[in-house]
Each structure stands twice: as structure tokens, then as C-alpha cells.
Amino acid sequence: MPASAFESARDAVAIWLNGDGAAFARKVRTGADSHRLSWEVDLRGGHPIVSSFRISLPRCFPAQPCELHVDKHLCLVLPHVEEDGRVCLGSSAPPASYENGAWAVNEALKRFKTEFLDRIVDPIWVKKEFQEERLSYWSRYCERSQLTAPSAPRTTWLSLCGADALRQQGWLECASAVYAEPGKQQRRYGLQLVSTGKEDPNELAQRHRWATGTLVRGNALIVALPPDTHWTPSTWPADFAALEVLVLESTGGIIRLGTWINQLGWAMTGAKQVQKPVSRKRQVQGDEVPMGYSPRLVVVLDGPFAFGFQISRARCLSEQPQLTPLKISRVDRDWALSRDHQLSTLDTRRTKRVLLLGCGSLGSPVAELIARAGIGALDIVDFEAFEAPNVARHSLGLTSLSKSKAAEMAARIQKEVPECAVSGFVAAAAPWLARFRSEDYDLVIDCTGESCVRTMLAAVRSDLIGAAPIVHAWIEPFCAAAHVVVSPWNVPWPAADPADALINAADFAPGTAKVTLPACNDGFHPYGAADVMQAAAFAAERIIGLLDARNADAVVYSWVRAKAFFDALGVPVQIRGIVPAEGGKFSAIMMERSLEKLLAA
């Protein structure tokens, strides 16, 4: 049986290192992994920090590059050293590795010398590398520390929103909601959630379905590090006294951590069962939660990055409170939707209030996409219930069967997207507008695809909608084209609804574009989820751009498939000039046309 590419590459390395390479490398056993080939390299005192290292070839070498290991105790002493001593330099396998495995190892050794061994003797470089990747090193430190501190919460999340006081004074006290895991003989805190906003952390956890187990109320102190402070292993507080000094310096001498703890006390408050374990019928009592006291947390902010210390009660009066470092993940909108990137754009979007008419195959993904873009408020109006055939091309699924599309879509967004105020209304567009005036909206989006709705909006616009732009978005039969019409108040869409005459890409023969069903006015246009998702992404991108713009231009955006697509439909169709003649059936073009010029034609 011929050798595989992996075996051939490994054999080439073994021939080299067991032959000429034996002058500097000695083959060694690697314990239980019999498929891993390893050699030890003794530097013979030629380096002040690293005395030796190990070359290892994984079974899938060179797809997975060779590994170079130093003493595992150098983890968090030197940058780029993993828990098992592996030195991570971000190497990948170039194509030549498969042709010459020995060359690949030799290149890795060169990088190891120039990018690691030669640099770790420079303390400035070491400090810089730790600082640039401080999140990764902190995570590694927390994982190591929690092995000896099983009472610390498994997960800690921070919702950093509406924290004006934090930005002004550099520190903030807030509440936390902590949940003891249900049904465990050795009970432990599962989730710890801290919120700086107006919303109670337990309410936030309930909204996003995070709350499970016994709720215990806790407290958190959030402290912002002064600018240009380095956060590296050598500066991390190792005990309560060191953390107290850091907090005191960071708050300008205002907050003394020991005083803060003593004022709060350790008595537990608010212990109650949020979700009852299936096997237990009685209420879980407060004294059954882990540790028996209320959780205390200190969060250190280094710019947008959060680092945590769980504080546990001292075991005796002569000792200080115990400290456990915690990895903290932010779950607020700024981080979840943009990772704090381009916050000025996100800040603008969160002021926008949008009305969406129609929550069908086009409206439902548009709703979710603009919500994930960060808009502040969204009202969804649709009178239909979700049915089984909708699964093929709707954002909802069978768990929403026979329920309101609008209400279910609103509930989905409310659960999955942070800080978006979304409501669903079971109503048709006209009755809803007649009941609720829509002058307060920044944008009205019509995704019903119905000519009668476009006509109705044109007729009632000045009375019920005011100066807000209206976007009409629809898809043509077979999802052959999609259009987004932006109609500002000064270029209104005509009540005559010239969509077919001026906008659409094709005319289909009567009875050929819709599958009819044996019911009054019932039927559907045949297309799938992949088709409509393309149209929804096209529409949402332009709607988001409109929300970001200062003024709304009167524009028609169109996404149109190539002629080959229409030819493959097998139904009579008359295409228009905007359909591209070139390209295959999966080709399409995007175009932008002036609404004013189209209406004047």
C-alpha cells in the first residue's frame, strides 16, 4: 500500500533528524501518543532562558505544522507559550511542506529562533506581546486558576450599556444576578450576569432565556483603568490587597475595596428558584446555594475589554477575602453588534424607530437584519398566522406554527438581539394605520408586496405618516428580481401604483407565475429560501444605508437575474430592457435608478 502524503512528509523529517540532524536532536518517546514523532534539542547553555525544546510531528503533519515545545512552566512567563509548553507563532503549512517535510521543519526552526528565542531576552518586547494579546493570556490565566477554585461561577457576562456615570467618574456600582445550577449534588454558580443599564439583570436574563436555576442577588464594582495602564501577567493583582490598591488608584482614592465589601456584607439576598428542576417539587431554599453568601465581583475595564475578580469570603478572621480571576464576556449591544467598532454609526441607528408592514418571506429576514444592524425600535405589523408551508422560506419555523407571524418574529428578535425594542401587531396594514398614527417613525417599510397596500399608503401618507420616507420592497415571481423603492415625502409614490409599468423586470403570462390552491384567492409564488434570502439581503443593505443617511434620495434599487434564468423557467414571459442579456442562470446585476425620472417618463 503506497504511503500517504502525511506519512511521506513525516518519514522525510525522520530520515533527516535521525541522520544528519542527530548532531543536535535526540529522538524521544512521547508517552501515550504513539503516532507522534518527537525529538529533543538541547541548547547546551546557549540561551539564558530556554535550555531545551522539543520538536513534535502531529499525525497529520504537514497539514498541521510541526510543534515546538518549551518548558510548560514558561506559560504566562513568556508570550506565545501555551499551557502544554507549545510555542504558538501562528504558522501555517505552505504548499512546499507536502513536497519536502524536512524543509518545513527547518523553516519552522528558523522562525522559532528569530521570532521567539532571539526576542524573549528583551523585556520590552515581552511586555508588548503580552499587552497586545492580553485577552488571550487572561483567559488562559482564568482557566488555570478556576481549577483550584470550583466555587467561582462557570460563566460571567457583562451588559455594559447606559453607563454614563462610569464614563464620567471612572467607576460604577451595579447589581448582578447569579444562578445556582439546578439538580446538582455539588451545587455551583452557573451564570453570573452584570448589567449597568436601567434593566434589572434578572429581567435581562429572563428576556434572553438565560435564567436557569436558583437566583441569587449579588453586587459588582466596575472600575476603569487609567489610560496607558498595562494589563499583563506581571501587573495582574495576585491577592485581595493588590486588587485593593488597584481599585484605590483607579478611582482616585474614592473607593476602598475592603470598605465596599464590609458595607455590603456577605448576607445573601433574593435567593429564589427561577426554573424548578424536574426532579424536585419543593422550593429551593437560600441556604442551599453554593457557598451560602451573596456573590461579590470586581470588573476591571481596560478600554472596551473586561477582566473580572470574584471575591469570596475569607475562611477565617485573620485572612483576607479570597480572589478568583474570571473571564468576562460582554453581551451589550455595542459589543455584540459591532465589537465597539464605529460606535458613532451604531449610536445613530439606536435612535431610529422603524415601522415594518408585512412579515412574510421578505419582511421577516429584513426585520431581523435591520434589528441586528442596531436600530433602536421596530414595530412589525402582519395579520397572518404562520403555517407549515411557510417553513420553506420564512425566518420562523415549526415552533411558531399557528401563531402570529408578527408576534413570533418580534419575540424572536427580542430574545436574540440585544437592546432592540420590538413589538409585533396582529393586524392588516390599513386597519393598523387607521388606529395608530405613524408620524413618530423615522422610516416606514412596506414588505407586503401588495399593490393595494402601496395604493393605500400613497392615499393616507400626508395624514397618517407625515414626513418619514417610505420604502416599498417586493420581489417578482420566481424571485426573478427584487426592488427597493425609496420614496421621500417630496417624491411620493403614486396611488396608481406603477410598479408593473415602470419598475418590474418582466411580464408573466396570466396564470403562469402563481401556483393556485382550491381556496378563495389562495396560492403562492414558487421560490425557495435561498432565493428570497438574496433579495432580503439586497433590500436590508439599502434600508440600513437609508437609516444611516442624513437625507433620503428618491431612488429605485433593483436586483435582476440574467436572461438565462428567465429562459430556464419554462413559462411564457416577456422580459424588459433592464434584464441583462449576458451571464448564466445564476448571474444577476444590481442597478440604481432615479425615481423622479421614472415617474416623469
Cell reading at 518: 382550491
Residue 126: inside a domain = no
Examine the pLDDT at 576 and tell me if it is beyond 90: yes
Answer yes or no: do 233 and 315 share one domain.
Answer: yes
**What is the Cα–Cα distance from 351 to 442, expressed in whole angstroms?**
9
- Residue 280, pLDDT > 70, answer no
Model confidence pLDDT, tens digit, residues 125-136? 999 999 999 999
Q: Give tens-digit pLDDT for 83-104.
A: 999 999 887 888 888 889 999 9
Final residue of a structural domain among 70, 94, 121: 121
Domain carrying residue 28:
5-121
Residue 297 forms beta bridges with which residues?
Answer: 220, 310
Question: Do 178 and 36 lie in a common domain?
Answer: no
Residue 442 belongs to a domain with what CATH number?
Answer: 3.40.50.720
Reported as a pLDDT band with limits 50, 70 and 90, residue 285 is very low
CATH at residue 29: 3.10.110
Identify residue 391 by its one-letter amino acid code: V
Where a domain ends, among 67, 86, 121? 121
Query: Are both 107 and 172 inside the same structural domain?
Result: no
- Band (pLDDT 50/70/90 cuts) for residue 270 is low
SS3 category, 25? strand
Q: Which cell numbers hold the place of 544?
A: 440600513
C-alpha cell at 447: 414588505
CA–CA distance, 96 with 105 (Å, rounded to integer): 11
Only one residue has cell 453586587, namely: 219
Res 33: pLDDT: 57
Q: Round to whole Å and give the CA distance between 493 and 596.
A: 10
pLDDT score at 521: 59
Q: Residue 217 has what pLDDT?
A: 93
Query: Which range, of 218-222, 235-239, 510-514, 594-598, averages the lowest pLDDT?
Result: 510-514
**Cβ-Cβ contacts under 8 Å for 228 (sequence gap 6 or more):** none
Residues 438 and 366 in one domain: yes
Confirm whether 318 is domain-assigned. Answer: yes
- Shared domain for 465 and 544, answered yes or no, is yes
Please tell me whether residues 207 and 241 are part of one structural domain. yes
- Of 42-51, 85-94, 387-396, the one with minimum mean pLDDT is 85-94
Asked whether residue 337 is assigned to any structural domain, the reply reads no
Q: Residue 566 and residue 572: Cα distance in Å, rounded?
A: 9
Over residues 521-544, the pLDDT tens digits come to 566 778 889 999 999 999 999 999
pLDDT band at 446 (very low <50, low <70, confident <90, very high): very high
Fill in the amino acid letter for 422: V
Please indicate, yes or no, whether residues 72 and 108 belong to a single structural domain of this protein: yes
Burial class (CB in 10 A: 0-12, 13-18, 19+), 537: middle
Question: For position 287, what pLDDT does the model report?
Answer: 42
Instruction: Please check whether residue 275 lies inside any domain of the structure.
Output: yes
| Per-residue model confidence (pLDDT) at position 451 | 96
For residues 312 and 402, state if they share a domain.
Answer: no
How far, in whole angstroms, is CA 307 from its chain's centroid? 19
Domain for residue 338, yes or no?
no
In this structure, the answer to whether residues 147 and 115 fall within a common structural domain is no
**Does residue 387 carry a pLDDT above 90?**
yes
Residues 31-43, mean pLDDT to the nearest whole number: 81
Position 288 in a domain:
yes
Mark whether 65 and 209 lie in a shared domain: no
Which helix (H) or strand (E) is 472 found in, with range? strand 470-475
Name residue, grid cell 531576552: 121
Place of cell 407565475: 513
336 found inside a domain: no
SS3 content of the chain, % helix, strand, coil (to 5): 35, 25, 40
Prior bond of 48 cis (ω within 30°): no
- Strand ranges in 35-188 using DSSP code E only, listed in sequence order: 37-42, 52-57, 67-69, 155-159, 171-180
pLDDT value of position 317: 74
Q: Looking at the 3D structure of the chain, how many domains does it have?
A: 3
- What is the pTM assigned to this prediction? 0.87
What is the predicted pLDDT for the residue at 291?
A: 55
pLDDT higher for 414 or 289? 414
Q: What is the pLDDT of residue 198?
A: 87
Q: Do 313 and 348 reside in the same domain of the chain?
A: no
Higher pLDDT, residue 269 or 575 = 575
In a domain, 510, yes or no: yes
Per-residue model confidence as pLDDT tens digits over 222-268: 999 999 999 999 999 999 999 999 999 999 999 999 999 999 987 66
Cell of 133: 494579546
pLDDT digit string (tens) for 5-33?
Answer: 888 899 999 999 999 999 999 999 866 55
Helix axes 123-132, 134-146, angle to 10 degrees: 80
Residue 121 has pLDDT above 60, yes or no: yes
Let me know whether 163 and 208 are in one domain: yes
Residue spans of beta strands (DSSP E) within 202-243: 214-224
Question: Of the candidates 92, 121, 150, which is a domain's last residue?
Answer: 121
